[in-house]
Copies of this chain bind each other. A is one copy, B any other.
Amino acid sequence: MDRIETIRAFVAVAQENSFTAAGRRLGLSTKLVSKYVRHLEQRLETQLFNRTTRSVALTDVGISYLERCRPILDQIDDLDSLVRERQSALAGPIRLTAPTGFGSTRLTEALVPFLQEHPQIELAMKLTDTRVALIEEGLDLAIRIGSLPDSTLIARKLSDMPMVLCASPDYLERRGRPEDPEALAAHSCLADSNQPEQNVWRIRSQGKEHVLKLDAAIQCNAPGALATMALGGLGIARSPLYAVENHLEAGRLEPVLPDCETTVLGVYALYPPNRHLSRRLRALIDHLAGEFGMRWSPGLP
């Protein structure tokens, strides 16, 4: 039996001077009100009311008890209201982490309209390229780019993220443009050490899978930095599309082996496996899924 309900019944009887009226007020049967109050009296081993079938009067213990119950019930009601209000308004903190490169570019661009629309959300974003333990760090959400999301957390795939091969025009002029995947072995390759198999490039060409074990001259865990190196003519970079798409469009980088298929990663939102995801977190994830969606899908112009 819920003790709060028994106290609530007691207070209602005290206010109405009637079990029947109290029952009407609480939406309970008179029998149940009687049972609740009796249960309370048994638990306290004291009498809260003196009563006949037609009259009810508080005992002096009952009077003292009532005085203390009222504020407690008010506070309990406020407890419930607190939670309900927090849920209904998209307000409060969201703490998220993302890889540096993606976070400072595409992710931030996507967040701006969302935060404009929901000004009460307080974003705390931590950009890092090292692996973060979400729960221990007190984080709500992690954006990850990869192939295998963390198995503890729930992963919602936001979009595809193909890895593309590219180099600067200057580099290609100097070193020649590879005509097939095997030709890559003769080139300087820039490898993204964020990937599990950074030096193993899998490339599908004309229906055939090429597994190239390259001796990457340069490795870096920051895709943006790798792009910058490629811009500087240091080699052929295998980078996630988001990091180089602007350079490709501007002609500053050129695609290498454009007819080949490379690895396609995913952009994932990772969050704890809670059964009650806050509404603002859900709203953000939905927003990002909408923003990223098909943006980097392979095969699109």
Identify A57's interface contact among B52, B61, B76, B138, CB under 8 A.
B138
* Complex alpha-carbon distance, A274 and B110, angstroms: 69
Q: How many residues of A contact B (CB 8 A)?
A: 46
A83 within 8 A of B: yes
* Complex alpha-carbon distance, A136 and B278, angstroms: 54
A130 within 8 A of B: no
* Complex alpha-carbon distance, A140 and B183, angstroms: 104
* Complex alpha-carbon distance, A2 and B45, angstroms: 19
Given contact pairs A3-B3, A50-B274, a sample of 17 additional A-B residue pairs in the complex whose CB atoms are under 8 Å apart: A3-B4, A41-B276, A45-B83, A45-B87, A46-B83, A46-B87, A47-B274, A47-B276, A50-B138, A50-B272, A52-B135, A52-B152, A52-B272, A61-B86, A68-B79, A68-B82, A69-B79
Q: Which A residues are within 8 Å of any B CB, using their own CB?
A: 1-4, 41-42, 44-47, 50-52, 55, 57, 59-61, 64-65, 68-69, 71-72, 75-76, 78-80, 82-83, 86-87, 92-93, 134-136, 138, 152, 272, 274-278
